Amino acid sequence: MTLTHKILGDQKRLFLWLLLYLRILGLAPFVDVEGKCKKSFVYQGLSSSIHTISSVLTLAFILSRLRSSNSEIYEYLYNYWDQSLGIIMVTCSWHFLMSSTKLLSIVRFLNRSKASPLPVDWITYVIIGVNVIALVYASIENINLGERYSFNLVSIVNLGALFSLNFFLALFLSIVMKLFTCELANLTDARLTSTSSSFENTVKYIYPCETLNERKTRYCEDNNATRSEIVPESKKMKSVKESNSLLYLIKKKLISCNRTAGLIHSLFSVVVFALLAYEQVNMVLLVLYALYDSSPSHFWSLLFFTVPSALKLWLILDSQSGYIKVCQEGVHRVKRLIAEVGGLGPRYEQEVWQLRGILAELERMPRFTILGLFELGRHCLLAMGSVVLTYVTIAVQFTTSNNPVTCKPFTCNCSLC
């Protein structure tokens, strides 16, 4: 067992570490009261003060670097594009702080979860390692930048916190969705499997010599023919009530999952849109500046910052894959269970009605849409890649062209004119 695995452990422990980091940055103004997270208005005020100071420091940093420049467009973008990240992350931090009530509801839901969290996979370890190295390098650059522009230590720490927030918010979204998917899979897999076993036991009580599928086949053959065995009515009612109560509990928890999924999407919608827009344009500018400065040192610097950006994009775009897969598998499982239980006869009409309610909740599980514009998923990666390639191709054509684009008059040589 590696040292990293001992520290991070499973996904739940990593989630708690990230939540602690957000508390340090003032984005999660919560306190633990007897093991329960509660919102603290004192911490809320302190967080607002911290972010006000951070916004002022970021604005001062941007204004201090503004200067007239007659250099080429690539050099101009190289000097001023990094400042846009500060503006974006200040906006995201304020959005996160103002949505702290939604975050509190999400944290409470995940803390109540009884599902066993999965261990952190090696891909997440690689993404964390690469981005931490990039953050350390960026911090060193900020220190050198501070010496050049006479920034104080507070401004440098503020810039480092904003740069780190760029990655840790993407990681936080990924871990939250994985924990939420574990809880949803526990409901649609383990609970429904136990429900199917409950129906099997009910059939054994009433028809001791038959299984669930045998009972379904025989019911279709004898067309509601009554059995000669006499089973106490109290035993029948007890089995039916147990299955009904279990189905009602599953439906109630699915309603809570539906509400929590909506909160997650509402909380991260603005953040994901800002990060996707920034990282996409950032990768375009990194490639374009490589055309301007083709030195080996800049090539390695380009590779050093392009890889973390691509990994952050993968974290965001892949965060919904497991969630969508579990929803689809749950829908198929419930449909199959409805068909099996529906063949048992009129006695199980109430159970079928409960299962159809569960099916409706699974089909209503919200998909992550970015401000209602498009659905988040792996398919976005292909679209973003094509957009980046298109802009780079256009820029290369304009850069390598020696003559300006001109419009020549069209001369018709046909016999009709």
- Kindly report, residue by residue over 124-152, the tens digit of the pLDDT: 888 888 888 888 877 776 666 555 555 56
pLDDT of residue 223: 45
Whether the predicted pLDDT of 365 surpasses 60: yes
Contacts 24+ apart (CB under 8 A), 233-239: 235/205, 235/206, 236/202, 236/205, 236/206, 239/198, 239/201, 239/202, 239/205, 239/206
Dist CA 173 CA 265 (whole Å): 10
pLDDT of residue 207: 40
pLDDT in tens, 60-99: 877 776 655 555 666 666 666 667 777 888 888 898 888 8
Whether the predicted pLDDT of 176 surpasses 90: yes
pLDDT in tens, 208-245: 444 444 444 444 444 444 443 444 444 444 445 555 67
Q: How many C-beta atoms surround the C-beta of residue 141 within 10 A?
A: 14
Query: Which amino acid is located at 222 in the chain?
Result: D
pLDDT of residue 279: 79
Dist CA 204 CA 344 (whole Å): 12
Dist CA 215 CA 77 (whole Å): 73
Dist CA 314 CA 308 (whole Å): 10
Q: What are the CA-CA distances from residue 393 to residues 291, 294, 358, 380, 397 (Å)?
A: 12, 17, 50, 20, 6
Whether the predicted pLDDT of 195 surpasses 60: no
384 contacts: CB under 8 Å, gap ≥ 6 = 276, 280, 313
Beta bridge partner(s), residue 30:
39
Dist CA 127 CA 311 (whole Å): 6
Yes or no: say if 195 and 246 are a contact pair by the CB < 8 Å rule: yes
Yes or no: say if 335 and 359 are a contact pair by the CB < 8 Å rule: yes
In the chain, the percentage of residues whose pLDDT exceeds 70 is: 64
pLDDT band at residue 263 using 50, 70 and 90 as cut-offs: very high
Q: How does DSSP classify residue 119?
A: B
Query: Which amino acid is located at 408 in the chain?
Result: K
Whether the predicted pLDDT of 45 surpasses 60: yes
Dist CA 322 CA 177 (whole Å): 8
pLDDT of residue 229: 43
Using a 10 angstrom Cβ sphere, with 0-12 exposed, 13-18 middle and 19 or more buried, the burial of residue 162 is: buried
Average pLDDT, the chain: 74
- Kindly report the pTM of this predicted structure: 0.77
Whether the predicted pLDDT of 313 surpasses 90: no
Where are the domains positioned within the chain? 3-397
Dist CA 298 CA 289 (whole Å): 9
In the chain, the percentage of residues whose pLDDT exceeds 90 is: 5
State CA 178 to chain mean position distance.
Answer: 8
Dist CA 272 CA 86 (whole Å): 16
Mean pLDDT for the stretch of residues 373-382: 72
Dist CA 25 CA 256 (whole Å): 29
Taken in order 7, 8, 10, 16, the sign of the CA dihedral is positive
User: Residue 346: what are its φ and ψ, rounded to 5°?
Assistant: -65, -20
Torsion angle in degrees (nearest 10) through CA of 404, 410, 413, 416: 170
- Among residues 108, 126, 90, 91, the alpha carbon closest in space to that of 15 is found at 108
